[in-house]
Structure 1
């Protein structure tokens, strides 16, 4: 199987189109198209969905995973042979709450990895595993403890979430009245908040007005100005609770266990990245 063809397939998946892949590879879109047609002929399978953005088929995902492994190993081999690190891509899926809190020390560590690059994919922790399974990332912060094929898992710790709001909002909707108090969430894919709200409503058919704020930092800001109540990790909420800017709405704790899943691959950089993630997660209570 021609490595150039695999590299072209990976570029299409990463960049989202044949044209963008051609630009990143320094060739013409026609050349990329010919490589993919040749690869599809060799495998006897359609490998790319010609959609916008372009995505890999089930067969294509298998080759994308192989291509990503080859790229990492090739980059590290070049680094050893040349006595320097090339642009080694470390692709990681992480949920937004982790990225905004305990995960940030990883940046300082990656800054010492020579010229290695970090590519983050932001997803809900219930969905990051699908990126790992497809081969889109080398590692993922996930809720799933059972490793996917070809991967290994280690526990990171627990993130504890509390329902918080401004004192004024809590006073306006005593009880709290979950069916009327305006609610904040990350978005429609915020499964944690959706499940928690259903449990709080306890069968009440009336639904509060809901605002979607697809940014952890913005969600905190919206909570602080009284736009609604939200589930906030204790790591984020504690400073505001101590100052009295926010109050706890009840004693309920939503505890989420997080795990680090990574490819079972002999890679010095992937080992260093794993060590960095585990070190950063020491601030979390144990799983």
Structure 2
């Protein structure tokens, strides 16, 4: 339906961020790049970019970009089977920050012949990226296979709720009961992060939304807990060294939160991503 030259040019624009750099990559003039993007937009029936400088694709543009990269990956796989060499394609995959911080990176490093465009998104929402066609695979909390996808259980990532000793003494002098948890500030990755409210519901049976700071980075979030900014929920593997050193204390010792994770892969890309699927399952088994 879409000419390969148009898709390759879209990939170049998104990869380089500009029509000028894309033109140099694909070997045409910037005017030709503009004409190709106009033709692709007309064929697809919508705008491809939110803005230019750097180029930021629309939802339609991201869907076409995924298609372009999947086609390039399939071509590269065929070329490899035929003994031909070429530049590895980039494939968009979604992984939550805690998995990247604790176990997933070795899986990426174990795979040769592919480049990864990693989208960081909450495990409760990454399935939406697959549904919209913006990524080819995702680590997600969705256990049932999405339409057109294969699902592989990875195990459960274990979380602990903790804070600094000083924060505990200030906010939880009588323990973390429902009233105290409703007042004490917590720390979340971003507004999508529901781990704190899930933990509260698990230990109190109540739906409480405490005041929250947002800090979209796992390691700085851990540092903020040590500094006493708030209480928070982080993977046990990240919490344990600070707990053993006395920098943090558990709010309720032994009250862990288990988050099952699943690796979902588009069936169109299942063969190309098979080495990554094996590596992700192995890394999850060893790292979680």
Name the counterpart of 1:272.
275
| Deviation for aligned residue 1:159 | 1.3
Q: Which runs of 5+ in 2 are unaligned?
A: none
* Residues in 2 aligned to 1:128 and 1:12: alpha-carbon distance in whole angstroms: 25
Name the counterpart of 2:36.
35
* Residues in 2 aligned to 1:123 and 1:129: alpha-carbon distance in whole angstroms: 9
Q: Deviations over 1:110-131 (max 9, x none)?
A: 2xx15x3232111111222233
| Deviation for aligned residue 1:36 | 2.4
Name the counterpart of 1:153.
151
Aligned with 1:34: secondary structure? helix
| Deviation for aligned residue 1:144 | 1.1
Which deviates the most, 187-196 or 146-155? 187-196
TM-aligned CA distance change 1:14 to 1:148, over 3 Å: farther
Does residue 237 (structure 1) correspond to residue 235 (structure 2)? The answer is no
* Residues in 2 aligned to 1:255 and 1:15: alpha-carbon distance in whole angstroms: 40
* Number of residue pairs aligned between Structure 1 and Structure 2: 278
Q: Deviations over 1:44-87 (max 9, x none)?
A: x22524435533455x5654443222110112223334444532
Does residue 182 (structure 1) correspond to residue 180 (structure 2)? The answer is no
Aligned with 2:182: secondary structure? coil
Does residue 225 (structure 1) correspond to residue 241 (structure 2)? The answer is no
TM-aligned CA distance change 1:164 to 1:20, over 3 Å: farther
Q: Deviations over 1:20-46 (max 9, x none)?
A: 644554544322221122234445x22
Does residue 46 (structure 1) correspond to residue 42 (structure 2)? The answer is no
Q: Deviations over 1:253-275 (max 9, x none)?
A: 32211100112136654111110
Aligned residues of 2:197 and 2:207 also touching (Cα < 8 A): no
What's the TM-score once normalised by structure 1's chain length? Answer: 0.82
In the TM superposition, what are the counterparts of 1:90-129 in structure 2 within 5 Å? Answer: 90-110=91-111, 113-114=112-113, 116-129=114-127
In the TM superposition, what are the counterparts of 1:35-74 in structure 2 within 5 Å? Answer: 35-42=36-43, 45-51=45-51, 54-58=56-60, 63-74=64-75
